[in-house]
Chains A and B, each alone.
Chain A
Amino acid sequence: KNEVEQSPQNLTAQEGEFITINCSYSVGISALHWLQQHPGGGIVSLFMLSSGKKKHGRLIATINIQEKHSSLHITASHPRDSAVYICAVPDGGATNKLIFGTGTLLAVQP
Chain B
Amino acid sequence: EPEVTQTPSHQVTQMGQEVILRCVPISNHLYFYWYRQILGQKVEFLVSFYNNEISEKSEIFDDQFSVERPDGSNFTLKIRSTKLEDSAMYFCASSLQQASNTEAFFGQGTRLTVV
Chain A residues in the interface with B (C-beta under 8 A): 29-31, 33, 35, 40-45, 48, 50, 86, 88, 90, 92-103
Given the known inter-chain contacts A42-B109, A100-B43, please indicate yes or no for A95 contacting B104, CB distance below 8 A: no
Q: How many residues of B contact A (CB 8 A)?
A: 28
- Residue among A30, A43, A86, A99 with max Cβ neighbours from chain B (10 Å): A43
Shortest beta-carbon distance from A78 to chain B in Å: 22
A-B residue pairs in contact (CB < 8 Å), sample of 13: A30-B99, A30-B101, A33-B103, A35-B106, A40-B108, A41-B111, A43-B108, A48-B102, A94-B55, A100-B35, A100-B43, A100-B44, A103-B42
Residues of B within 8 A of A45 (CB): 103-106
Considering the chains assembled together, what is the distance between the CA atoms of A8 and B56 in angstroms? 32
Complex interface residues of chain B between 61 and 87 (CB less than 8 A to chain A): none
Which residue on chain B has the smallest CB distance to residue A38? B108
CB–CB A97/B111 < 8 A: no
Q: Which DSSP category, helix, strand, loop or mixed, fits chain B's interface?
A: strand
Please give, as numbers and ranges, the residues of chain A lying within 8 Å of B43 by CB-CB distance.
43, 86, 88, 98, 100
Considering the chains assembled together, what is the distance between the CA atoms of A41 and B99 in angstroms? 26
Looking at the complex, which one of B42, B50, B89, B106 makes contact with A95 (CB distance below 8 Å)? B50
Name B31's contact: one of A33, A95, A103 (CB within 8 Å).
Answer: A95
Tell me the bound Cα distance from A93 to B33 in angstroms.
14
Determine which residue in B31, B91, B100, B107 has the highest number of CB atoms from chain A within 10 A of its CB, and name it: B100
The complex places the Cα of A29 from the Cα of B55 at a distance, in Å, of 21
- Min CB–CB distance A40 → chain B (angstroms): 7
Question: Is there an interface contact between B99 and A96, defined as CB atoms closer than 8 Å?
Answer: yes
CB within 8 A of A101: which of B42, B104, B106, B111? B42
